């Protein structure tokens, strides 16, 4: 696995401002058995689809020195071009108003950046599988979808590529549902696939307009669009609505209140207009969870 064997190669200096490579990339992997991502002590591998074709990218993190990318496949050069956005090092971290709890969390997790994969289709597919299920169920369904409709990734690491829009357009909804994916989600995945080209316009739109565009797809509502934009398309602004647990988490983290409503969460995040999702990402980094009143099994996510 040498530089000479790769189809594309590039290095970037380690960011001058705080940067936590491993926490920043943690949620690019959907579960420990994600066949599109392999984490290693020195970095990670990730597969992707690009306009030029498929690619596998190996990222090597050398804190305080540099970030190195090696890529294989027809889309190698284009994938390497995306790396700074994947890692959020192509832009400064958002400016955040002072708040006692947030200030403390930011000090501890100042290096967390938002990931922008540059792929609205893949983002929506991934987040749609998280609707109305637990995280473990979402991770399992993502793995099954990739194993069934993805293909072998280029390069030396045995990984799979995420499904293309073409593969999901051709897929029978019954076959998708047979993987254990809810029928509603299976139908939404195909709707996303048919709209894939148009969805890429969201990358060039302001966040509010981008959310409206994503929600034109049947089965994609405010929760799914906000999570896709914030978690995988690098937008700090979205206020997530419809999540079952997030209002409790925000209320606990920012006000010490173990239970919260959507309205209370919106009230607490109002001072952070424009960076609401970035605050949520910091809470994920801090592993903050409100005290549970009920034993598992609970649904992790809300509506659509």
> Token match 């369904």: residue?
141
For residues 89 and 31, membership in a common domain is answered with no
Q: Kindly give, in sequence order, each residue whose CB lies less than 8 Å from that of residue 110, ignoring residues fewer than 6 positions away.
A: 17, 18, 20, 93
Assess whether 96 and 233 both reside in one domain: yes
How far is residue 4's CA from residue 130's CA, in Å, rounded to a whole number? 39
Under 8 Å between Cβ of 89 and 11: no
Distance between CA atoms of residues 175 and 246, nearest Å? 32
Q: Are residues 157 and 304 in the same domain?
A: yes
> Both 56 and 121 in a single domain?
no
**Dihedral pair phi/psi, residue 54, rounded to 5°:** -75, 160
In this prediction, residue 138 has a pLDDT band, given cuts at 50, 70 and 90, of: very high
91 and 42, same structural domain?
Answer: no
* Per-residue pLDDT, 292: 82
Supply the mean pLDDT for the chain: 95
CA-wise closest residue to 103 among 296, 292, 253, 243: 253
pLDDT for 304: 64
Model pLDDT, residue 89: 98
State the pTM of this model. 0.93
What is the per-residue pLDDT for 293?
A: 72
- pLDDT band of residue 2 (cuts 50, 70, 90) is low
Q: What is the pLDDT of residues 75-124, one digit of tens each?
A: 999 999 999 999 999 999 999 999 999 999 999 999 999 999 999 999 99
- The verdict on 239 and 298 lying in the same domain is yes
Give the H/E segment covering residue 71.
strand 66-72
Pairing of strands 66-72, 37-40: unpaired
> Could you give the CA distance from residue 45 to residue 28 in angstroms, rounded to a whole number?
10
- Which of residues 50, 83, 116 is at a domain's end? 83
Tell me how far the alpha carbon of residue 33 is from its chain's centroid: 16
pLDDT in tens, 231-283: 999 999 999 999 999 999 999 999 999 999 999 999 999 999 999 999 999 99
The pLDDT assigned to 303 comes to 57
The answer to whether residue 301 scores a pLDDT higher than 90 is no
Q: Are residues 65 and 185 in the same domain?
A: no
Please check the confidence at residue 204 and state whether its pLDDT lies above 70. Answer: yes
Question: What's the CATH code of the domain at 220?
Answer: 1.10.340.30
Q: Indicate whether 193 and 88 sit together in one domain.
A: yes
Given a cut of 60, whether residue 288 has pLDDT beyond it is: yes
Instruction: Classify burial at 95, counting beta carbons within 10 Å of its beta carbon; exposed 0-12, middle 13-18, buried 19 or more.
Output: exposed
Mean pLDDT across 43-67:
98
Confidence bin at 37 (pLDDT 50/70/90)? very high
Domain residues for the domain of 41 are 3-83
pLDDT, tens digit, for every residue of 153-175? 999 999 999 999 999 999 999 99
């Amino acid at each position: 696995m040498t530089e000479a064997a790769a189809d594309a190669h590039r290095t970037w200096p380690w960011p001058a401002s705080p940067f936590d490579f491993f926490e920043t990339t943690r949620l690019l992997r959907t579960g420990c058995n994600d066949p599109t991502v392999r984490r290693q002590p020195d970095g990670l591998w990730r597969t992707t689809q690009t306009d030029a074709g498929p690619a596998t990218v190996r990222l090597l993190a050398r804190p305080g020195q540099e970030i190195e990318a090696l890529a294989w496949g027809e889309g190698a050069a284009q994938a390497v071009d995306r790396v700074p956005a994947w890692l959020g090092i192509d832009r400064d971290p958002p400016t955040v108003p002072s708040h006692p709890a947030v200030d403390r969390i930011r000090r501890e997790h100042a290096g967390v950046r938002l990931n922008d994969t540059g792929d609205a289709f893949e983002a929506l597919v991934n987040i749609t599988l998280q609707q109305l299920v637990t995280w473990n169920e979402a991770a399992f369904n993502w793995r099954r979808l990739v194993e069934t409709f993805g293909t072998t990734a280029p390069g030396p690491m045995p990984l799979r590529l995420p499904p293309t829009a073409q593969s999901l357009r051709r897929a029978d909804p019954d076959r998708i549902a047979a993987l254990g994916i809810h029928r509603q989600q299976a139908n939404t995945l195909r709707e996303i696939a048919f709209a894939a080209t148009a969805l890429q316009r969201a990358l060039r739109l302001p966040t509010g307009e981008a959310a409206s565009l994503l929600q034109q797809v049947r089965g994609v509502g405010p929760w799914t669009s906000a999570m896709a934009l914030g978690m995988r398309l690098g937008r700090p602004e979205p206020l997530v609505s419809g999540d079952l647990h997030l209002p409790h988490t925000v209320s606990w983290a920012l006000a010490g209140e173990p239970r919260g409503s959507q309205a209370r969460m919106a009230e607490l995040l109002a001072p952070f207009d424009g960076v609401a999702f970035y605050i949520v990402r910091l809470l994920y980094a801090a592993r903050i969870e409100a005290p549970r009143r009920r034993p598992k099994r609970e649904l992790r996510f809300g509506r659509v």
